[in-house]
Amino acid sequence: MGTPADILDLVHESVVTRDAWGHILSWNKASETLYGHARADALGRKLHELLNSRHETPLDDLEAALHAGDRWEGELTRSTASGQDLVLDVRWTLERDAHGNMVRIVETARDITRRKAAEDALRLSEYRYRNMFQAMAVAFWEVDFTGVGAMLIPLRDQGVTDLGAHLHANRDFLRETMRRATIGDVNPQALQLFGATEIEELKGRTIDHFWPRESEHIYIDALVATMTRQPYLMTETRLNRVDGSQIDVLFTVSLCQEARKRGIMLIGVVDISARKEAEAALARLQSEFAHAARVSMLGELTASIAHEVNQPLAAIATSGSASLRWLANEQPDLGEVRDLADRIVADARRAASIIARVRAMAERREPERLPLSLNALVEETLVFLGHDLQGRQVAVERHLTPDLPETLADRTQLQQVIVNLAVNAAQAMADGAADRTIRFTTATCDDGVTLTVEDNGPGIPGDPERLFDSFYTTKSTGMGMGLPICRSIAEAHGGTIRAANGETGARFTVTLPSV
């Protein structure tokens, strides 16, 4: 059987004994490892001096508590032989003899430095999180999705591979998942944004109260992001307030691993109603500018429009006179009269079509985007501009790619862009050579379809992109609003318009997404 010192060396924790004056009586191997002091160097030394023991309470008070109750335990900070500070979980036990006299103090110590650092880091993280949660100008929800996970996980075992499609097809199931998602906590900004006065109006409620059906696709995206372990989701949507009214919001879901383990989603919501209203106002203003530009353009094309309308009217008059002559015969040729009547109807429809196009350009209305053929729109616009271009002695070349994909666009607005580019090109060549040509080219591209309008005029002086600055013009009588309006129309359709100098003149390229 070994000596007591041998037995203590088998213990994994530091075990030290000291006398009433603090001198070290024994020092096991675990103490050597922990503090870096050899047993021979430690024996006989005062423990607190050797290890620079520190506590927020004076050590003398701790010693007094030990002598009063024979036990003390707590955390001490000590320095090793190398100067490293350790946080230790320390227990002191005072041994007495049969007469109650002190024999020695037995100390056990365990290194908890890493645990304390982790706890401190966690407390700091929680403090920062709570401070952010409460103080930031963002509405935050903590939502318990544990019940939702319990509904979604079994779907894998049922063979569901496309969760998004499954949820879109099973809306009752989707709404039930919303009724399983409970709001756990909210910050003051959430109360204000959602029109609540007390936290109980939100806390504990399920999110289906705040999720309108037209925004369900965003909720589906959030669930898919959760199940596919995406870090976050950010998008725009609409949510219900407590009173049932709706607000436009920027919706963000944090899907960090730690929160996912707890079944918690942190949802951040920013009110973007003012921005949406400003965007709508800007769109209305741009529409007004576009309308004013169309009306102004029609004024410039009055002669061309009058010519286009006059042609079918003259044809109607001619056919009507011929019909009367045939009917005046003793034996009228009704077949001939019928053919003339058909021509009158066709010409009347042609005149009505021209007037309808002019009216569409002139009237003020909300844009309506429908699938349309860019090639057909170019051809229709060139018919509309035919007389004007002919009067300016401008030839037209068409390089229209067959079977071009359709684009989703407002016919009137897109026609306005084509008319503007064509008229600009014709005006740019007014003082140039006799050979005046505008080339219209359509093609496919990675982003959709393109329309390129080129002329053989003098080109664009300076930076071509300046042409799209409002009120910038190279014409002596221009206002500088036509091309900026063209750009706003192209961008509103998800496309672009670019200007550059080609081989012989100016080149404008409009890119639009295809259907």
141 contacts 267 by C-beta, under 8 angstroms: yes
Whether pTM > 0.85 for this model: the answer is no
pLDDT in tens, 382-398: 877 777 777 788 899 99
User: CATH classification of 368-515, choosing from 3.20.20.80, 3.40.50.1860, 3.20.20.140, 3.30.565.10?
Assistant: 3.30.565.10
How far is residue 451's CA from residue 374's CA, in Å, rounded to a whole number?
A: 8
- 295-327: buried (b, 16+ CB within 10 Å) or exposed (e) per residue? eebbeebeebbebbbeebeebbeebeebbeebe
408's tokens: 């989703």
CA atoms within 13 A on the CB side of 307: 13
Q: What is the pLDDT of residue 186?
A: 86
Q: What is the pLDDT of residue 157?
A: 84
Query: Which residues in the chain show pLDDT less than 50?
Result: 1, 472, 476, 479-480
394-400 and 436-445 beta bridge pairing: parallel
297 contacts 361 by C-beta, under 8 angstroms: yes
Q: What is the pLDDT of residue 211?
A: 92
Write the CB contacts of 6 (distance below 8 Å, at least 6 apart in sequence): none
Q: What is the pLDDT of residue 476?
A: 47
Write the CB contacts of 477 (distance below 8 Å, at least 6 apart in sequence): none
Q: What is the pLDDT of residue 484?
A: 79
CA atoms within 13 A on the CB side of 120: 7
- Examine domains 4-111 and 131-271 and report if their fold is the same: yes
Class of domain 4-111: alpha beta
Class of domain 131-271: alpha beta
Which residue ranges make up each domain of the chain? 4-111, 131-271, 274-366, 368-515
Q: What is the pLDDT of residue 471?
A: 54
Count CB-CB contacts under 10 A for residue 447: 13
Beta bridge partners of 434: none
